[in-house]
Chain A
Amino acid sequence: MSMTESRTTANQGKNAVPAVLDIRDVSVLYSGKAAVKNVSCKILKNRITAIIGPSGCGKSTLLRSLNRMNDFVDGVTIEGEILFTDQNLYSSDVDPVEVRRRIGMVFQKPNPFPKSIYNNISWGPGINGYNGSMDELVERSLTQAALWEEVKDRLHESALNLSGGQQQRLCIARALAMEPQVLLMDEPCSALDPISTAHIEDLMFELKSRYTIVIVTHNMQQAARISDFTAFMEMGNLIEFGETDQIFTRPNIKRTEEYVTGRFG
């Protein structure tokens, strides 16, 4: 593990970019069984970090531990610490609700509320006491998610009438409306067709300037296309973490090379 850590530091030394999330020796256990084992890495500001690996490698579990969405799983325990602006997300004086307000999430399957398009966006800011102009916030969020033009004339129709790709962009807009510092995306394109996927990838490029993005994907081409950093996980271990270019062209570890060249997974 110390090897991984030293490599991580070496890679990031080159970039004078601050880390938004500092994952330190984190293990996630379900009823005592480790799904994520002693993972350490840094998530840099305004960068896209991709987590790749075969099914069941713990990538989604790791992602969900970054905004305390694992709290709802029965029998989950987390060891190690995750520093977010120098505060451990898991220290006892941290309010998980506040964490999720700042670290947003987009899920694998689009999950709009069975409410209108407008209310899907305004719901989160509404319950959190947003006191600016809600109309402007809705327009801004939908514009950022590249959905505004398609839905501006039917904001009060049910979100369930949208196509899958539109629903996923709506979910992104919903997360953006909270103006989060970090956006976590759990295989956001796995339920979408290639055109919608391209839409969302373009969108991520644009969002990068304002947000820090962590994306879990089982699609290696996607990771190679969009991310700046890539973490490769297998069986709960972080095998290698580095700049995406390096991971895909000159991986340091044999297992990484085998995975990114498609020899297993």
Chain B
Amino acid sequence: MATNSPTNSSIRKLNKRWGEFMIKSWLVVCSALSLITTAAIVILLVVESFSFFQNVSPSEFFFGTRWVPILEPSSFGVLPLLWGTLQVTIGAALIAIPLGLASAIYLSEYASDRMRSWVKPALELLAGIPTVVYGYFALTFITPLLRNIFPEIQVFNALSAAIVVGIMILPTIATLSDNALRAVPESLRQAAYAVGATSYEVTTRVVVPAGLSGVMASFLLAISRAIGETMAVTLAAGQTPNLTLSMFESIQTMTSYIVQISLGDTPAGGVAYQTLFAVAALLFFITLIINIISQLILERFREVYD
């Protein structure tokens, strides 16, 4: 052994590295915090929903068609709220999916790098606008516009909400699908061009199918955002639980019901107050399922090419 090499005793741990230990502990606490918060929310929702279901039968809640939680005679059928959410979500998806996918295809397959460097930040800006602004925009701009076309439309209506939520979730679809399409290897495009495919054929028959799981996942994430969207929908669609096929009437979604009760003077502890948690639990459950499905799809997406 060389004379200047450390002796065996010097590699023994002399004192704990306290600074490192503190930092590590702090990081663990930070990450645990979000887990604890989530767990607390879930527990709260389950416990309060449980007491709700002791007063109201699940069959009334899930299959009842009238939602009159505060006035007498009360009725706790959640279907009008669920349907209202669906109306807005489906309408928004019908608008955002074709437009978002088209923008993604344009961005990944046709746009020059310079064009992309302008369009992508603009789309991300769209995603950063506070949702209450979108709601105000729907009420003061989209609805009057719709009134010119459909004079019978109500001031608060599902269509206006669907359009504005569609605009809101469009950036999610466009940017995530763009990422998915750009992840398709260039060599596949070249292979397709080399057998005499046009750009259109390369895009629709090679690139989109190869990136399909990423594209589908972007749809689902956007849809789960549409389901949870609150302020814009509350402002645009109104507060009327309404089981209707018409997009021209005022409706109420699950989220806007939660806003209504949270802002109102409903006394804590009553059945009306407990509905808040039942509705929230249902909402949480639906978005959780959709997020899990999109995660599963995204995982599959990693394995597509080889």
A interface, CB within 8 angstroms of B: 67, 69, 72, 74, 97-98, 100-101, 104-105, 107, 109, 111-114, 123-124, 127-128, 160, 171, 174-175, 177-178
CB nearest to A111 among chain B residues: B187
Contacting residues of chain B (183-198) with chain A, CB-CB under 8 angstroms:
185, 187-198
B interface, CB within 8 angstroms of A: 112-113, 185, 187-198, 201, 205-206, 209-210, 304-306
Q: Interface majority SS on B: helix, strand, loop or mixed?
A: helix
Q: Please name 4 further chain A to chain B contacts, defined as beta carbons within 8 Å, in addition to the given A107-B187, A127-B197, A178-B195, sorted by A numbering.
A: A72-B193, A98-B196, A107-B191, A171-B191
With contacts defined as CB atoms under 8 Å apart, how many contacts are there between chain A and chain B in the complex?
67
Inter-chain CA distance A128–B197, complex, in Å, is 8
Inter-chain CA distance A67–B198, complex, in Å, is 14
Contact yes or no, B194 A105, CB < 8 A: yes
Answer whether A113 and B194 are a contact pair too, CB < 8 Å, given A74-B112, A127-B205: no
Contact yes or no, A114 B305, CB < 8 A: yes
Distance of A154 from chain B, by nearest CB (Å): 18
Inter-chain CA distance A111–B186, complex, in Å, is 10
Inter-chain CA distance A113–B191, complex, in Å, is 8
Contact yes or no, B196 A111, CB < 8 A: no
Contact yes or no, B201 A127, CB < 8 A: yes
CB nearest to A184 among chain B residues: B194
Set B188, B189, B194, B205: member contacting A100, Cβ < 8 A:
B194
Inter-chain CA distance A72–B189, complex, in Å, is 10
Q: List 6 A-B contacts (CB under 8 A).
A: A111-B191, A114-B209, A114-B304, A127-B195, A160-B305, A175-B195
Inter-chain CA distance A101–B306, complex, in Å, is 27
Contact yes or no, A97 B112, CB < 8 A: no
Answer whether A178 and B196 are a contact pair too, CB < 8 Å, given A74-B113, A127-B205: yes
Inter-chain CA distance A109–B113, complex, in Å, is 26
CB nearest to A128 among chain B residues: B196
Contact yes or no, B195 A101, CB < 8 A: yes
Inter-chain CA distance A107–B187, complex, in Å, is 8
Inter-chain CA distance A100–B201, complex, in Å, is 14
Q: Which residues of A contact B187 (CB under 8 A)?
A: 107, 109, 111
Inter-chain CA distance A123–B197, complex, in Å, is 9
Inter-chain CA distance A178–B196, complex, in Å, is 9
Distance of B268 from chain A, by nearest CB (Å): 56
Inter-chain CA distance A98–B193, complex, in Å, is 10
Inter-chain CA distance A23–B294, complex, in Å, is 52
Contact yes or no, A100 B193, CB < 8 A: yes
Set B188, B198, B205: member contacting A111, Cβ < 8 A:
B188
Candidate in B113, B188, B194, B304 with the most chain A CB atoms within 10 angstroms: B194
